[in-house]
Amino acid sequence: MRWNNVLCGVLMAVVGFSGCAKKETPQERAERLMKELKKIPVCELVTKAEMETMLGVTLADPNDKAPVTSAPPMCSYVSASESMKDFLSVSIMLLPPSDNDPKKAYDAFLNGAGGLLKEFPNIKIEPVDGFGFPAFWYEEVHQLYVFTPAVVLSVTGMAPQQPGKLTLEIHKQIATAALSRLPQK
């Protein structure tokens, strides 16, 4: 009789308390992931020397200072030349994924409420292979997004006076280098 009471008590505790854990809201998840991402030294994901080799230009020292504290962690590289003709910049940014499943996060980013294709239905994006994760290229703004379980990696390039300088292939090289150094979940 005594063992029955103990067993019933244990079962009630396991069954009763298993549903008591507070489920994380999407906002809480995003905030937690953003805190984790801010611990990553983004400018170390692709070094200045590596970036100079990939881009074929001399760069100023990278800047990892976000314009506001709530901004996602990022690193920006800018050409060292003072000539606007030679100006270019490349930024690497880390965003929290909306889901642990990269495919779901990719779909939500593009097609979910407030998604890129919902907000801007006429933009042209193209899926990109070669990462083992969903990715897309947004040619018009020279932006590559790669969706992993732990992070959405964004690589953005700008070279207004040098059309064709910052190609998808360059973006893929930068993303591949950065992904190889990101902590894996």
Does residue 157 belong to any structural domain of this protein?
Answer: yes
If one counts the domains in the chain, the total is 1
Does residue 3 belong to any structural domain of this protein?
Answer: no
- Mind listing the pLDDT tens digit for each residue in 18-75? 445 578 887 888 888 888 888 889 999 999 999 999 999 999 999 877 665 667 889 9
Contact predicate 39/94, CB 8 Å:
no
Per-residue confidence (pLDDT) for residue 13, from 0 to 100:
38
Per-residue confidence (pLDDT) for residue 67, from 0 to 100:
62
Rounded CA separation 165/76 (Å)? 17
Q: What is the pTM of this model?
A: 0.81
CATH number at 141 reads 3.40.1000
Give the β-pairing of 135-138 and 126-127.
antiparallel
Does residue 7 belong to any structural domain of this protein?
Answer: no
Rounded CA separation 16/12 (Å)? 5
Pick the more confident residue, 144 or 6: 144
- Mind listing the pLDDT tens digit for each residue in 153-169? 999 998 877 877 888 99
- Mind listing the pLDDT tens digit for each residue in 107-127? 999 988 888 898 998 989 999
User: Which strands form 152-158's sheet, in the order they lie side by side?
Assistant: 74-78, 89-95, 152-158, 143-147, 135-138, 126-127
Does residue 16 belong to any structural domain of this protein?
Answer: no
Query: For residue 82, what are the domain limits?
Result: 24-181
For residue 152, what are the CA distances in angstroms to 4, 21, 53, 77, 155?
Answer: 52, 28, 24, 19, 10
Is residue 4's pLDDT more than 80? no
Per-residue confidence (pLDDT) for residue 37, from 0 to 100:
87
What H or E segment, with its residue span, contains residue 176? helix 168-181
Residue with structure tokens 């059309």? 163
Reading the block at residue 96, the tokens are 């929290």
Does residue 143 belong to any structural domain of this protein?
Answer: yes
Closest CA to 93 of 39, 49, 149, 156: 156
Does residue 73 belong to any structural domain of this protein?
Answer: yes
Closest CA to 74 of 116, 101, 108, 46: 46
Does residue 19 belong to any structural domain of this protein?
Answer: no
Does residue 2 belong to any structural domain of this protein?
Answer: no
